[in-house]
Structure 1
Amino acid sequence: MQFLIGRAIFRQFNYPLSRTFSLIPKKNSQMSQAVFTAAAENANFFLKDSSTSGRALCYGFQQLAAQCQEVAPLLDKIKREAPKFDLDVETPGNGYRSFVIIFEALFKRCSSLCDLVKSQRSQVVFNLYKYSYIQDLKSWNEMLVSLNTFLEHLNTLLEWNEKDRVRCLFPSEAHSSQELLDKARTIESYSFYGRHAAFQYCSSIESVLKGLLTIMAGYSDYYFSKSPHLWRVAKSLFMSTQYTLDAEHRARRIVHASQYATVDFCKSFWFLAESDLMKKVPDRICPVIRVNQLILIPPEPLQIDSLKCKPVNIPAPSAHGPIAPVQVRLLSAKGRPGMPGQNDYSEATVSDSLIIHCHGGGFVAQSSSSHETYLRHWAVALDVPILSIDYSLAPEYPFPRQLQEILFVYAWIQRNPSVAGTTAKKIIFAGDSAGANLMLGATLWASDMNLRLPDGIFLAYVPLLVQFEPSPSRLLCLLDPLLPFGFMMRCLSAYAGQPDMLQSNPTEADGRVKDIVEQINMASSSQESTESKIKHNTVIDPEQLDRLKVHSPVDELDLFRVSSNPLMSPFLASDSALKKMPPINLLTIELDPCLDDSVEFAKRCRRLGCDIRLDILPGLPHGFLNFALLSREAKEGSKLCVKRIRELFKKCSDAAL
């Protein structure tokens, strides 16, 4: 059996081997030099081994050494240029640096593999692990090939900057995302979701993300199956076990799902966090809080005074649907007078402070309930009531329904502050991801209406551009485990009110979407049964589409047309509008596809003299706040959020003095 496995593996490495491999690097990058030397030394050792596994190892190490040399020049250039795009010396971070960090993590893993093989290669025990090492080499080499393509894209962005004589992470309008990402069709992304998935993050997050990827792959089997429910559940559980044992199989499934699944799949998967089982987690693990109450705000028109002391009418939310109540969740560590059920035995006085919060979820999923894992910690640490808004979700309710609801809640709580046990003298807006975008958009809208603005805004890993601009960090979504390119495009399209091009019923889509759906259907005309399934299913099995080879998420960029409304994309707000904003604390991460949004936004606000602060955390993914119970680093990140919110409240107090 081992002989047959060895032959199968060797066929993947059927390549003429060099008789020797030079140990002198060609001006290699310092990051890759150690890997080059160690890989070349291992390659020369296994050159003497004529066995199938020996030749496979020799070839694998030769390829690793050669690729270290190949990426070195471009990587060195990116490393030299990256600091020029930072906000300042104290805040290093941008999309160029992100890829340097990824290469550093990869070289560190490859160096460990080289050292491990060297220490074991002459021992008997080595035979037990050599096939695993061969697969490790294959995976790292495939990843290096793809990452080298990313370096070429980054070099293109640098050339655009040089040509246009600017230093901006977002190129000028003369260049398009399509122009940059046309080459992305050649990127092999399977390796980023296979045996070394999430290698770029801290170890506690890496294990969590691998588990989530396995769950996603198994859930896709359930979602796309047409079998009875119990059979679908059984198959999903069985396949999850297979995906745990076979990382490459999992990678294929993940790539298929992220590329070809509709927004309904994204919503359905993310709503697993809303299951009855997951809802019980905060009660058992998170701090106990006295008040955790859902409140329905009746859809009655409101009237509040503007900054000019003139009454302003705030209508009930009505965009894209009927007028309906808005649900909010009140969280408080202590009972305060006025709060539901707390009037007779309140343990604390009325607070002067209030946090109004919006959750993340790509504009299409989740709720205040799924974000309790960190909101409870915030409520206890800050000792401030938190009002979290369960806004309407896209695509059923696209922009601007969410902003209408936030503004409505904001006006209502100013009229009824006692319900939250507060005087509302100091109000901080807070949100993560999509919720952060909404809070900033609502602030801009309140400013346009001359309403009282919040006293500060805290935004975590916020997408400030609801567009796919070709910035360095945006390229990260082509290898991000939680925010892959396909998912990101579906969510942004849904919020912008665009039709999902992968929905099988194109009657509501525009002509271009119809054409693409027809191409998908016609491509399998020689396979009648497959064609019938694709035409009539409400969802499309991603593996069917993969066989057709007619669609890439990059194709959707041609259809992605979003208005330049600053309420949707706050990055596009005018200078005069930004100058009116209250103090803003931004917190993002080194490996976030939205990193460049925050960096360029902070630069612009500083040029305008705005009060803004930016933190960039290492080793964490987009959405890390939801992992605060599972990762020490994520928990520390949540504590920093608390610190930055507390600082905003202090600025309110200082300003009052």
Structure 2
Amino acid sequence: MIISDRIGETSLLVEEILNTINRCKLNHIPKDILNLKLVLTEMKAKFESMTTNRSLKSINTQCTAAYLDYNNRYLSDLLAQTKTWKGNLRETQEEDLKVILSKINTLFEFLEIVPLVPEDDLFSLEKSHPRWEALQGITETFHSDKAKRVNEKYKKFMGQIATGQAFVSKGYEEVPGIKRYLMIGLGSIYYLLKKKKALRKTNLLYAEPRIEVAIHVCNLLETKMIRKLMKVVIKSSRYDKIVYIPRLVSEVLKPYQIIKSQEKLSLTPVQDYVMARILNTINLDLSSPIKTYNKIVIHIHGGGFISMSSASHQVYTNVWCNNLQIPIISIDYRLAPKNPYPAALDDVWQTWNWIIQYGETIGINPNQYVIVGDSAGGNLALALTYKIIISGLPPPNGLVLAYPALNLDKNSFSPSLLFSLDDLLIPYSFLKLCLEAYLPEGIDIKNPMISPINIEKEVLEKFPMTRIMIGTEDPLYDECFRFAEKLLNCGGDIKISQYAGAAHGGLNYSFKGGIRETRDMVAKASEWMKEMLEIV
């Protein structure tokens, strides 16, 4: 079917929904129905304008077709819902309406961008195109024989996470203060028994997310109770120490300049110092080291710039530490919205400078080092590497990026973003919330230290060995290949490992009782780091 016919078909589906709503005999019309009619009317008008001859010539047919597939699925679900509306809507019907309205609003936002994607965009080309053949030459695929089974495991696991998200949100909506934690506890019991209600509650949370609830939902792994439980199922490191690192150089957005002489790190909190966690396989005497390590890993955790810490990522950093037999320094950068950009980036920049200049005072003199980051941490890892290179300083021996956030422009579109409509970890509404929390108003979103997808050719030419891992069902999937292509075209040493059926956040699910296949991701990253650091 040609694209104009497909657009027309979708427009007719929207019209049928509007007619069905108008025929509904409701005693009371909820505000969400009025909002739904408004967005559907605007959507129909947009589809009609797209079918003019002039508009059809400029439409990206591949992206539009992928978009219509998703849109029609949700519109069909909505049509089925509207046919059940009569009298007074039940509570569950109003909740379903709120959830699908959120998704329709997202699809309408995409509709403004989808047709404008350039025809020569990587994801508008057939897989037989030379550009894709070049990328396939640097891509290794895992679990292709069990992609469906892996994806089902992710969905099941996300359903379990939804239970936790539901009881946290319940505690927040019910009562303030100390009573809130009682409600969270009671909510956990309630939703463990009623998992369908937990999923509904989570979808409602995503439909109208609030930043304070989002932060606490994302920080489930940070609670004392969960941390104690996690210690049972994750491997420990013999040495696990929190330290506080002084700021010795100019702020990250300013030209590089040393502004302070040597200052020792602290074992207790100091104002304006950066908190970090040092992991090692043997005890370190930080005051008078008897051994010096010349190879280290600098780790930057994920969490959407608003949540999590080095502790919640020890499920895999401990494994790496034990496998590599070298120190790992995991940075606890400041989080948004209290500390928006460039606070987090400045923290990793200051930590890197202290380690390189004065790490020998604690037995760490890194002649070779690797920077690792996942999700938001991948964004910061690339931004840090960019800053190091443009400052004329020694770049890392390698970069390991797990499902990195490469493009923070919410006015961009790529087909994999459609996965976020169903994603229970990073739904599109949460992605937007994270960006709004992290980025100050009026910021230049094209800045490479914000959106590394925009790193200039002359800087990419100086990039170290780079390895990326990504799941095929991850909303951030497409940008990983766009970035890899740019680096490849600059002569970079770049490889991608893609994991069939995997969604976002795989490394964090590698604990006993999590998703078994994600342990392959942990092992692959360890293999890459050994290669980069020449560890036999």
- TM-score (normalizing by structure 1): 0.56
- CA shift at 1:447, angstroms? 1.3
Matched, 1:166 2:112: no
Aligned position for 2:294: 352
**Per-residue deviation at 1:282?**
5.2
Q: Distance in 1 between matches of 2:391 and 2:464?
A: 15
Find the counterpart in structure 2 of residue 617 from structure 1: 499
1:458–1:645: 8 Å Cα contact kept in structure 2? yes
> Equivalent of 2:246, from 266, 278, 298?
298
Matches within 5 A, 1:20-99: none
Q: 1:393 aligns with which of 320, 335, 344?
A: 335
Q: 1:479 aligns with which of 401, 405, 422?
A: 422
Contact 2:150 2:517 (8 Å CA) reproduced = no
Is the partner of 1:365 in helix, strand or coil?
coil
Question: Out of 504, 522, 529, which is 1:638 matched to?
Answer: 522
The one-letter code matched in structure 2 to 1:167 is D
Aligned residue number for residue 252 of structure 1? 200
What is the CA-CA distance between 1:258 and the residue it aligns to?
A: 1.3
Contact 1:359 1:388 in 2 (8 A): yes
Alignment counterpart, residue 205 of structure 1, candidates 140, 154, 173? 154
Alignment of 1:46-195 (within 5 A): 157=114, 164-169=118-123
In 2: Cα distance, 1:312 partner to 1:645 partner? 30
State the Cα distance separating 1:583 from its structure 2 match. 1.1
Deviations 1:119-155 (A, max 9, x none): xxxxxxxxxxxxxxxxxxxx9xx99xx99x98xx89x
> Does the CA-based 8 Å contact 2:469-2:521 persist in structure 1?
no
Matches within 5 A, 1:436-451: 436-451=378-393
Q: Which runs of 4+ in 1 moved over 6 A?
A: none
Matched, 1:592 2:474: yes
Q: State the Cα deviation string for residues 434-476 of structure 1 (Å, max 9, x = none).
A: 1111011011111111111111111100010112221011121
1:313 corresponds to: 258
Counterparts of 2:394 and 2:357, CA distance in 1: 12
Secondary structure in 2 matching 1:360: coil
SS of 2:123's equivalent in the other structure is coil
* Partner of residue 488 from structure 1, selected from 423, 428, 431: 431
Q: Counterparts in 2 of 1:368-517, with a 5 A limit? A: 368-419=310-361, 421-468=363-410, 469-498=412-441
Q: Percent identity?
A: 25
| Structure 2: runs of 5+ lacking an equivalent | 1-61, 74-95, 126-146, 262-269
Describe the SS at the equivalent of 2:426: coil
User: Structure 1: which 5+ runs fail to align?
Assistant: 1-83, 86-94, 104-138, 172-197, 304-309, 317-321, 499-559
CA RMSD of aligned residues (A): 3.8
Deviation at 1:640, TM superposition (A): 1.3
1:225 to 166, 174, 189: 174
Match of 1:514 in 2: none
The alpha-carbon distance between structure 1 residues 170 and 565, as it changes in their structure 2 partners (threshold 3 A), is: farther
The separation in 2 between residues aligned to 1:473 and 1:229, in whole angstroms, is: 41
Pair 1:451–1:485, CA change in 2 (3 A):
same
Q: 1:283 to 1:219 in 2, by over 3 A?
A: closer
Separation in structure 2 between the aligned mates of residue 315 and residue 569 of structure 1, nearest angstrom = 30
Are residues 251 and 203 of structure 1, via their aligned partners in 2, closer, same or farther at CA, if it must alter by over 3 Å? Answer: closer
Distance 2:421 2:149 in 1: 14
Taking structure 1 as reference, are residues 217 and 287 closer, same or farther at Cα in structure 2, changes over 3 Å only? closer
Figure out how many residues of one structure are paired with residues of the other and give that number.
Answer: 409
Cα shift at 1:251: 3.5
When residues 201 and 314 of structure 1 are mapped into structure 2, their CA distance, relative to the original with a 3 A threshold, is: farther
CA-CA distance at 1:496 after TM superposition: 0.8
State the distance in 2 between where 1:331 and 1:610 align. 31
Which residue of structure 1 aligns with residue 276 of structure 2?
Answer: 328
Confirm or deny that 1:286 pairs with 2:234. Answer: yes
Change (3 A) 1:237 1:414: closer
Distance (Å, rounded) in 2 between the aligned partners of 1:356 and 1:419: 17
AA paired with 1:633? Answer: E
Q: Which amino acid aligns with 1:376?
A: N
Is residue 496–residue 562 contact of structure 1 (8 Å, CA) maintained in 2?
A: no
Q: Distance in 2 between matches of 1:377 and 1:96?
A: 39
Equivalent-residue separation in structure 1 for 2:288 and 2:271 (angstroms): 30
2:313 matched to 1:367?
no
Q: Report if the CA contact (8 A) 1:315-1:408 is conserved.
A: no
The Cα of 1:201 is off from its aligned counterpart by 4.6
CA distance in 2, matches of 1:279, 1:241: 19
Deviation at 1:235, TM superposition (A): 4.4
- The 3-state SS of whatever aligns with 1:423 is strand
**What secondary structure does 2:392 align onto?**
coil
Q: Deviations over 1:80-127 (max 9, x none)?
A: xxxx99xxxxxxxxx979x99xx9xxxxxxxxxxxxxxxxxxxxxxxx
Q: Is the alpha carbon distance of 1:269 and 1:167 closer, same or farther for their aligned partners in structure 2, counting shifts above 3 Å?
A: closer
Counterpart contact for 1:314–1:411, Cα < 8 Å:
no
Aligned AA (1:389): I
Q: Is the 8 A contact 1:374 1:628 kept in 2?
A: yes
Measure the CA separation in 2 of the matches of 1:334 and 1:342.
15
The answer to whether the 8 A contact 1:314-1:408 is kept is no
Give the C-alpha shift of residue 567 in structure 1.
Answer: 0.5
Q: Does the 8 Å CA contact 2:249/2:256 hold for their aligned counterparts?
A: no
Correspondence for 2:165: 216
Deviation of 1:561 (Å): 7.3
Equivalent residue letter for 2:472 = E
CA distance in structure 2 between the aligned counterparts of 1:405 and 1:227, rounded to whole angstroms = 32
Query: Alpha-carbon deviations, 1:206-265, whole Å to 9, x = none?
Result: 3322111011112111011136744x4554445445544555533432222113222221
Of the candidates 271, 286, 289, which is equivalent to residue 340 of structure 1?
286
CA 1:288–1:265 in 2, change beyond 3 Å: closer, same or farther? closer
Q: Is the 8 A contact 1:302 1:315 kept in 2?
A: no
Match of 1:263 in 2: 211
CA distance in 1, matches of 2:530, 2:163: 38
Structure 1 residues 165 and 434, CA, compared in 2 at 3 Å: closer, same or farther?
closer
State the match for 1:191 in structure 2: none
The alpha carbon displacement at 1:356 in A equals 0.7
Q: Give the greater-gyration-radius structure (CA).
A: 1
